[in-house]
Amino acid sequence: MARNINDRLTNLNKRRKGTDRLDRVSKEFAASIVNDSMILEKWEKRATAQPFTRYALGAMQPVEKRYTDISIETAIRVGKQLQQGLSMDVDLRLQGSVPLDVHIRGVSDVDLLTLAGSFLTYTQGGALARAGWYRPSDRRPVDVLLELRREAEKVLTAAYPAVTVDCTGGKAIAMSGGSLPRPVDVVPSHWHDNIDYQAAQQEHERGVTILNKHVPTTIENLPFLHIQRINEADGSTLGGLKKAIRLAKNVKNDAEDEQAAMKLPSFDIAALLYHADRAMLRAGYQFELSILAETQRFFDWCWNNKDSARQLRTPDGTRPILNTDDKIDGLRVISAELDNLAGEVAREQSNVIRGLQAPTQQIIAEALRNAYIPDAA
């Protein structure tokens, strides 16, 4: 890693404990975050004489549960305010990295889907549609969501006078500060009952349509299928997949060329690693640095086999992951950063590698896979 490792450890600590985003919360909550940040996490007590190893281990770990709980509780609180203030019924769901537990910040924005409860669209060829379960509406989806967006903006602005309620975004109403201990992004939306949902009636198969008010237009996605498939894959790797995702996201945030690294969105990092070698990720249950070895190997493979990597699709199957040149550029930077990190960690773990001027990737990977890092005393 080109940037000073001590700076990276400091940045990692700030991200995880929320002190990097004190301007996104009120002074009261900022003081509490600063106070809590003095408590050492388990990873900070491991590999104390090996800073690169300590960084890699810390970058894999989930954010402390108390921080995640506060994020979720804040979103639920905002959702209840919407349910009380809106003239229409709405369903509430969380999407994104926080409910998936791959967020890397103690102060994370939470995506709150606010779904119009009395309106949905559906695929006409589905089983339920053929059985006559649905009643067609004469309203356009974009008009329904524009109405929901306008009303939600008014409700939130009136209900949270001390909160910064930013209504300029196309897809979300961004709320931060004031009485909110965590930022919340409110996303007006409605359900879309696709063929797969109509066949099985499993909510993770159900589509969600969101609004981009700047066009205006609607956008369909499958946020819960993404969550479901990442969770299933993570279970098969004994937690290794989510550790790899967090690791790559932290490396992205600490990249020397951070601007270029940011061209690969966090969603697509998770989608890519869904295709990594699960047996190698599973080995990280005992030999944690195997996760670094596999993450580095897989990003290196994607960079060196770009035509094949471009064929990889998101876990929900809706699109190719690396569908722009900007994403390929971000992949390049993150892959190079992982190469450097893997080499530095391997040098800390292997006397043999310390004596080699240019160890091969195979030698580095073997050193990482064979390294055992004991828990802190």
| Domain boundaries along the sequence of the chain | 56-61+227-370, 66-221
Name the amino acid, one letter, at 84.
Q
Choose among 145, 151, 167: nearest CA to 86. Answer: 151
Q: What is the Cα–Cα distance from 371 to 162, expressed in whole angstroms?
A: 51
Residue 26, pLDDT score: 83
Count Cβ neighbours within 10 Å for each residue of 284-295 and write b for 16 or more, e otherwise: beeebbbbbbbb
> What mean pLDDT comes out for the span 303-314?
98
Within 160-277, residue ranges assigned H as helices are 195-200, 223-236, 240-253, 258-261, 266-273
Q: How confident is the model at residue 376 (pLDDT cuts 50, 70, 90)?
A: confident
Mean pLDDT of 237-258: 97
**Cα 26 to chain centroid, rounded:** 24
Taking residues 12-29, report their average pLDDT. 93
- pLDDT band of residue 253 (cuts 50, 70, 90) is very high
Q: Using omega within 30 degrees of 0 as the cis cutoff, is the peptide bond preceding 216 cis?
A: yes
In contact, 225 and 243? CB cutoff 8 Å: no
With a cut of 70, say whether residue 265 has pLDDT above it: yes
How confident is residue 357, by pLDDT bands cut at 50, 70 and 90? confident
Bigger pLDDT: 26 vs 33: 33
Share the mean pLDDT of the chain: 96
- For the chain, what's the residue count? 377
Segment 130-162, tens digit of pLDDT: 999 999 999 999 999 999 999 999 999 999 999
Q: What is the mean pLDDT of residues 100-124?
A: 97
Confidence of residue 355 (pLDDT cuts 50, 70, 90): confident
pLDDT at position 28, please? 85
Indicate whether 2 pLDDT > 50: no
Whether 183 contacts 109, CB under 8 Å: yes
Residues 6+ apart with CB under 8 A from 327: 263, 264, 265, 268, 321
CATH class of 66-221: alpha beta
Mean pLDDT, range 229-233, rounded to an integer: 98
User: What tokens does 195 get?
Assistant: 């063929």
What's the chain's Rg over C-alpha atoms? Answer: 22
Question: Would you call 21 helix, strand, or coil by DSSP?
Answer: helix
Q: Is the pLDDT of residue 167 over 60?
A: yes
Q: Residue 1: what pLDDT?
A: 45
Q: What is the pLDDT of residue 37?
A: 93
